[in-house]
Amino acid sequence: MSAPRRNLPFRFIGKRILQAVLTILGIAIINFFLLQLAPGDAAEALAGEAGTADAGYLANLRREFGLDRPLWEQLATFLMRIATFNLGYSFRYGETISTLILSRLPATLLLMATSIVIALVIGILFGVTAARYFNRLPDRLISLVALLFYATPPFWIGLMMILVFSVWLGWAPTGGMRDITAPDGGIAGVFDIARHLALPALTQAFFYLAIYTRLVRAGMLEVLSLDYIRVARAKGISEQRVAYRHALRNAVLPLVTVVGTNIGGFLGGAVLTETVFSWPGIGRLMFDAMLQRDLNLLLSILVLSSVFVVIANLAVDLIYPVINPTVELR
Amino acid sequence: MSDDAKSAILLDRRQLLLLGSAALASGALMPYAASAAEGTLVMTINPEPNAMVSAFNTASPVAVISGKMTEGLLHYDFDLKPQPALATSWEIAPDGLSMTFKLRDGVKWHDGKPFTSADVAYSIMEILKQHHPRGRGVFAKVTAVETPDPLTAIIKLGEPTPALLYALAGWESPMLPKHVYEGTDVLRNPANNAPIGTGPFKFVEWQRGSHIILEKNPDYWDKGKPLLDKLFVRIYPEPSARVAAFEAGELHLGGDGPIPLNEVKRFQDNPAFKVETRGTEMNNSLDVLETNLRNEYLAKPQVRKALMHAVNRDLMAKTVWYGLAEILTGPIPKTLPHFYSADVPAYPFDVAKAEALLDEAGYKKDAKGTRFKLRLIYPTVGDTYDRAGQFLRQQFRKVGVELELQSVDVPTFIRRVYGEYDFDLSMFPASVTADPSIGLQRFYQSGAIKQGTPFVNASGYKNPEMDALLLKAAVEPDAGKRAAMFKRFQQIAMEDLPILPLVRPIYVTVANAKAKNFVTGPEGVRSHYATLSLD
């Protein structure tokens, strides 16, 4: 029994990778055709910004963007680029697409990782507390706060944070990722980034926090009424330990699923927060690429995003049996 | 481990958390101040430029950043009179067929090589005439640039092009180094993102989505300048964030309307800031309604006149633009005084007259009070056009014209209006530039009806007198005769009304009160900023 079980994750992963490749290919092709539906092309977007252009200028632009090629050829070129990991050149930005993406990826990674960790820690704390004090004051307060965070757009929370903590109190900068007027790097540089990170990370965390709190609370309420918890309490184990050691483990599975989705969707998940805090992340790049009809760039980011979703899902599936050994991989 | 020990650990964890947040809070309690050193200034450009050199893209943000690093042959004063820049003197032949520029001696490119007439010839013939979106038209008549010696460049023209003299600023027609561009794929030359110019500032770094850093050019030909050691450009996508950054003192300068219109008054009243309304006289972006004359209603002159009479533009300027707008009397704004004429057919706000004109056109009101329906399409850039569209809908409804608002993004707008002529009325920013032959001929001349080309005559307007007049004005070397022609142009334009001029919105420049010389001429934030300082 134990020997084949040990092999199982590898067979499972192999099967899932094959599925993943097909999924990503499908997403890429669907995205390609979906984006063709958007009226106007990259040449017209550029000409629109320039405020003027003649037919020859537009024709040159279309040739540079590869828009003068037949559609099937554009699709083939795009798929070829993905297959060879050579994403090509964004004529609009005058830069290779991989450079563009890589230069914006760390900012978004940092923001999302920090905010999800903050949201997880506070969300679990809140959720467990709310469940333990079900229908009493702490539960009511926490539920109210969670509902407020859930109902308030992150955009507005961000602006209010800037107003209070940057403009009135002067505790944090209004935006950006670092003080561009100071020299780069060193310990001071790390502190500088942390300082710039605080408000956007909190804003983004509040958004997740509301959902996490409610998920943990609901899961805990269900689990806390089960027999094994009653047994644990009968054994005289402290409430603290019962809650965090015995109940939480079983209550947390829905949370893992949602966090997995959030991590998978992190590329575009913070675009509002990035906008409000002038955070140089990839969400903005994706948004601008859409407005500019820079389809090569946009498709590359979308494919990358689908890769992350697939990886996150796989990770979640692998984590389930670790948290709860009764879950089996198939 | 006993349960007590475990809960002790838990408590410890909790304490740790508390300690951690306390540490974070105490760190945060130290007031934040960007460490802007002396001789530096932080400005913003919105939206982020997508290139650093304005030779291949004339988008406004590109012009702003390029203008600090690249220079042109000329500058301009507030009267739009040419001033020396890379050229110290210039002379136009009486027949208007050649322009001789004497170049400044001792000018060096940022890489140390000398600037010569060969660079001028190369920039005009190989770059601006070929790849510059506007330059392809402006320099179209240039047949050659002769270089008798390293400090003389003679532009030869097939026909006189008086407008050319107003298109030679560094942000509009930058001079670029021949030795860097020659023999390369100029559109993908790395110098397009890291310019080598002759300007007061040198390129240091551009981190997309975040910031651009420029530093003083120590070998700048104007000794002792620039006054700043470093110029930082920070990108803030959200206008409210710009307001906060100004108020927090992190941001010192921004042009082209950096803050929402409803905030401008507050900034004007606050002594910590300066708000300048001048500095766009070479762009003259107007908000207009172009009519599609292929539409059966709009094809009738009475209908177009009625629509003009139906709009209370005083009220519109106050409510839509918060008073920051010049109400237009015609296609040329007062910011071009040498071309402007008030002697044109006028259309004061008059609902009764509008109704009479519509009746006369044969469109009676139905039972619901509606005569006919029109679609108004406009690009989504900021929220001003949304407000303007709603205002127009209310005004037009009073005379029985229902307006359907279609707010679309820029590429969709261009495809629908210029690619497919699928519109009734289109509202957009029409840039007159410094010369009507460059900025307005394209909207009013029938030769400019070119389906698929953005920002040209999309109305389908064709008037032989107008066509002949515009073609003549474009090649008239005599300034007086030319002004007379443009006076007639304004009269015909306001009689025929293929385009209903609304207002010239005033795009303010906002600066910290300590900033000096941020608008010194009509080039505004596009200027080189050699004298910009922050005390």
CA distance A108 to chain B (A): 12
| Residues of chain B with C-beta less than 8 angstroms from the C-beta of A92 | 50
A200 touches chain B (CB under 8 A): no
Q: What per-residue confidence (pLDDT) applies to B37?
A: 62
Which of A210-224, A245-259, B309-323, B407-421 bottoms out in mean pLDDT, i.e. has the lowest? A245-259
pLDDT at A185 over 50: yes
Tell me how many domains chain B contains.
Answer: 2
Q: Are B299 and B183 in a shared domain?
A: no
Question: Which of A70, A95, A120 is a domain's end point?
Answer: A95
**Nearest-Cα residue of chain A relative to residue B451:** A55
Question: Is the CB of B412 less than 8 angstroms away from the CB of A39?
Answer: yes
Q: Are A210 and A89 in a shared domain?
A: no
| Angle value at C-alpha B414, between B408 and B415, nearest 5 degrees | 95
**Nearest-Cα residue of chain A relative to residue B247:** A167
Host domain of residue A65: 2-95
A58 touches chain B (CB under 8 A): yes
Q: Are B444 and B309 in a shared domain?
A: yes
Question: Is the CB of A181 less than 8 angstroms away from the CB of B40?
Answer: yes
Q: Are B330 and B438 in a shared domain?
A: yes
* Chain A, chain B: beta-carbon pairs less than 8 Å apart: 213
Select the residue of A172, A244, A280 nearest B210 (Cβ to Cβ): A280
Q: Are A91 and A109 in a shared domain?
A: no
What number of other Cβ atoms are within 10 A of residue B129's Cβ? 18
What number of other Cβ atoms are within 10 A of residue B242's Cβ? 24
For residue A254, give both structure tokens: 């829905």
| Domain of residue B403, CATH code | 3.10.105.10
In the structure, how many helices (H) and strands (E) does chain A have? 16, 2
Which ipTM did the prediction report? Answer: 0.87
Question: Which of B167, B193, B219 is a domain's end point?
Answer: B193
Task: Please tell me the distance from the alpha carbon of residue B245 to that of residue B252, in angstroms, as a whole number.
Answer: 9
| Domain of residue A307, CATH code | 1.10.3720.10
Question: Which of B146, B175, B193 is a domain's end point?
Answer: B193
- Per-residue confidence in pLDDT tens, chain B, 535 aa: 344 444 434 444 444 444 444 444 444 444 455 545 679 999 999 889 989 999 988 889 999 999 999 999 999 999 999 999 999 999 999 999 999 999 999 999 999 999 999 999 999 999 999 989 888 889 999 999 999 999 999 999 999 999 999 999 999 999 999 999 999 999 889 999 999 999 999 999 999 999 999 999 999 999 999 999 999 999 999 999 999 999 999 999 999 999 999 999 999 999 999 999 999 999 999 999 999 999 999 999 999 999 999 999 999 999 999 999 999 999 999 999 999 999 999 999 999 999 999 999 999 999 999 999 999 999 988 789 999 999 999 999 999 999 999 999 999 999 999 999 999 999 999 999 999 999 999 999 999 999 988 999 999 999 999 999 999 999 999 999 999 999 999 999 999 999 999 999 999 999 999 999 999 999 999 999 999 999 8
Element (DSSP H or E) covering residue B367:
none
CA distance B137 to chain A (A): 8
Judging by beta carbons within 10 Å of its beta carbon (0-12, 13-18, 19+), is residue A308 exposed, middle or buried?
middle
Mutate to test the interface with B, among A89, A278, A286, A293 (most CBs of B within 10 A): A278
B242 falls within a domain: no
Q: Are A69 and A136 in a shared domain?
A: no
Question: With bands split at pLDDT 50, 70 and 90, how would you rate the model's confidence at A6?
Answer: low
Task: Please tell me the distance from the alpha carbon of residue B511 to that of residue B277, in angstroms, as a whole number.
Answer: 12
What number of other Cβ atoms are within 10 A of residue A185's Cβ? 10
Q: Are B296 and B181 in a shared domain?
A: no
Question: Is the CB of B35 less than 8 angstroms away from the CB of A182?
Answer: yes
Q: Are A126 and A185 in a shared domain?
A: yes
Q: What per-residue confidence (pLDDT) applies to B32?
A: 54
A132 touches chain B (CB under 8 A): no
Q: Are A191 and A122 in a shared domain?
A: yes
Question: Is the CB of B236 less than 8 angstroms away from the CB of A92?
Answer: no
B76 falls within a domain: yes
Select the residue of A94, A121, A276 nearest B193 (Cβ to Cβ): A94
Q: Are B188 and B327 in a shared domain?
A: no
B255 falls within a domain: no
| Angle value at C-alpha A105, between A99 and A109, nearest 5 degrees | 165
Q: Are A47 and A125 in a shared domain?
A: no
Question: Is the CB of B50 less than 8 angstroms away from the CB of A50?
Answer: no
A275 close to A175: Cβ distance less than 8 angstroms: no
| Residues of chain B with C-beta less than 8 angstroms from the C-beta of A162 | 240-241, 244
> In whole angstroms, how large is the CA radius of gyration of chain B?
27
Question: Is the CB of A182 less than 8 angstroms away from the CB of B247?
Answer: no
Q: What per-residue confidence (pLDDT) applies to B476?
A: 94
| Domain of residue B187, CATH code | 3.90.76.10
Question: Is the CB of B207 less than 8 angstroms away from the CB of A280?
Answer: yes
- Mean pLDDT (chain A, rounded): 88
Select the residue of A50, A95, A276 nearest B241 (Cβ to Cβ): A276
Question: Is the CB of B211 less than 8 angstroms away from the CB of A198?
Answer: no
Q: Are A89 and A107 in a shared domain?
A: no
Q: Are B444 and B302 in a shared domain?
A: yes
A328 falls within a domain: no
Question: Which of A68, A95, A122 is a domain's end point?
Answer: A95
Host domain of residue B96: 3-30+49-193
B229 falls within a domain: no
Question: Which of A95, A114, A146 is a domain's end point?
Answer: A95
Element (DSSP H or E) covering residue A23:
helix A2-36
Half-sphere exposure of A280 (CA within 13 A, CB side): 23
Which of A8-22, A116-130, B506-520 bottoms out in mean pLDDT, i.e. has the lowest? A8-22
Q: Are A177 and A124 in a shared domain?
A: yes
Q: Are B293 and B434 in a shared domain?
A: yes
Q: Are A213 and A70 in a shared domain?
A: no
Question: Which of B193, B221, B253 is a domain's end point?
Answer: B193
Q: Are A300 and A244 in a shared domain?
A: yes
Query: Which is higher by pLDDT, B66 or A315?
Result: B66
A289 falls within a domain: yes
B253 falls within a domain: no
Select the residue of A38, A44, A179 nearest B414 (Cβ to Cβ): A44
A196 touches chain B (CB under 8 A): no
Question: With bands split at pLDDT 50, 70 and 90, how would you rate the model's confidence at A5?
Answer: low
Q: Are B7 and B139 in a shared domain?
A: yes
Question: Is the CB of A241 less than 8 angstroms away from the CB of B6?
Answer: yes
Predicted TM-score (pTM) of this structure: 0.89
A330 falls within a domain: no
Q: What per-residue confidence (pLDDT) applies to B15?
A: 46
Q: What per-residue confidence (pLDDT) applies to B1?
A: 38
Tell me how many domains chain A contains.
Answer: 2
| Residues of chain B with C-beta less than 8 angstroms from the C-beta of A288 | 47
